[in-house]
Amino acid sequence: MRIIDAHVHIASWPTIKKTEDYILSSMKKYGVSFSLISNCDGAEFPSVGKRLATPKDTLTCLKEVIAFVKKHPDETGALVWIRPRKEKLGQDLVDYIRSQRQYIYGIKFHPYESHLRIDTREMMPWINLARELGVPMLVHTAADKYSDVAFLKTVADFNPDVVFIAAHLQLCSDNKAAYEAMKTTPNLYADTAWVNMKMAKKVLEHIGEERIMFGTDNPIDGEDTLANPIYHDYFSNKLRLPAHLYHNLMARNAAKVYGIDLSKKR
């Protein structure tokens, strides 16, 4: 069975090369067919790892991801980690994204690591870019003053032609607020990074079979992040989801939302 991990990172913790190796080895170990990767070195106020002595801009971070993806185009794709608090959207970045569009599947925004809510004016150029490119925006959601899912719901309601994915279904919470937000906002999706499978099942059965996709934050917890019991439940289909729901959750939903043509992948 195909598995897409829709929430994966490279970063300088401990090194870019190490995280790349962790991704490839874990994909092989756990049978993940395709990973969507963004670069955590784009964090403007990093909460994981040491702050870089010389910060990297969005373009530099993206080029590092693209270099990795080009080595493994059948197994990996890129998300653009953006830095909207400190950077304006420049034409050089837009031109590069367009030139590498075959490798790029979406945009990643982390409100906490930018100290910026998504419902601020600084975000509009980036949301418009997602609209123009026709790609979704993966947005970190959590119970903090920058990342609350309520802010994302407001933006999604005002931009119904853009798909937003609520990463983590509101981390550090019982997920209920994110679940309720998804009910009335059809362009708001979710991923399963650090989400109990019971909640993923609830979304599939009561909100929509297409509205949540497998994602892990790999390798934020190191070389064997995917060994965490929360992900074992997904790999083993512990809740015995019917085949069509399980395939939707583990691959088909991400393929549809991000435009991944699995027939052309290994």
Distance between CA atoms of residues 98 and 145, nearest Å? 33
pLDDT at res. 55: 87
pLDDT in tens, 151-202: 999 999 999 999 999 999 999 999 999 999 999 999 999 999 999 999 999 9
DSSP structure class, residue 218:
B
- Average pLDDT of the chain, as a whole number: 96
pLDDT at res. 266: 55
- Tokens 């009561």 sit on residue: 206
Q: Which pLDDT band holds residue 50 (cuts at 50, 70, 90)?
A: confident
Tokens of 106: 């979406």
Return the number of other C-beta atoms located less than 10 Å from residue 29's C-beta. 12
Distance between CA atoms of residues 181 and 92, nearest Å? 36
Distance between CA atoms of residues 240 and 133, nearest Å? 37
| Residue whose C-alpha is closest to residue 100's, from 64, 75, 66, 132 | 66
pLDDT at res. 91: 97
Q: Which pLDDT band holds residue 54 (cuts at 50, 70, 90)?
A: confident
Say if residues 161 and 188 touch (Cβ distance below 8 Å).
no
pLDDT of 52 above 80 = no
DSSP string, 149-209: HHHHHHHHHH-TTS-EEEEEEEESS-SHHHHHHHHT-TTEEEE-TT--HHHHHHHHHHT-T
The CATH number linked to 22 is 3.20.20.140
Tokens of 179: 């679940």
DSSP structure class, residue 142:
E
Average pLDDT of 5-29?
Answer: 97
pLDDT in tens, 91-127: 999 999 999 999 999 999 999 999 999 999 999 999 9
Tokens of 143: 């119970």
pLDDT at res. 232: 97
pTM: 0.97
pLDDT at res. 264: 64
Is the Cα dihedral 258, 172, 45, 152 positive or negative?
positive
pLDDT at res. 247: 98
Q: Where are the alpha helices (DSSP H) in 115-159?
A: 124-133, 149-158
**Helix, strand, or coil here: 67?**
helix
In the chain, beta strands by DSSP E: 4-10, 34-39, 76-81, 104-109, 137-142, 164-171, 188-191, 212-213
| Residue whose C-alpha is closest to residue 91's, from 124, 53, 56, 129 | 129
pLDDT in tens, 147-164: 999 999 999 999 999 999
Owning domain of residue 241: 4-264
Structural domain total, the chain: 1
Distance between CA atoms of residues 109 and 256, nearest Å? 20
pLDDT of 265 above 70 = no
Q: Which pLDDT band holds residue 240 (cuts at 50, 70, 90)?
A: very high
Average pLDDT of 27-48?
Answer: 95
- The C-alpha R_g of the chain, in whole angstroms, comes to 17
The proportion of the chain whose per-residue pLDDT surpasses 70, expressed as a percent, equals 99
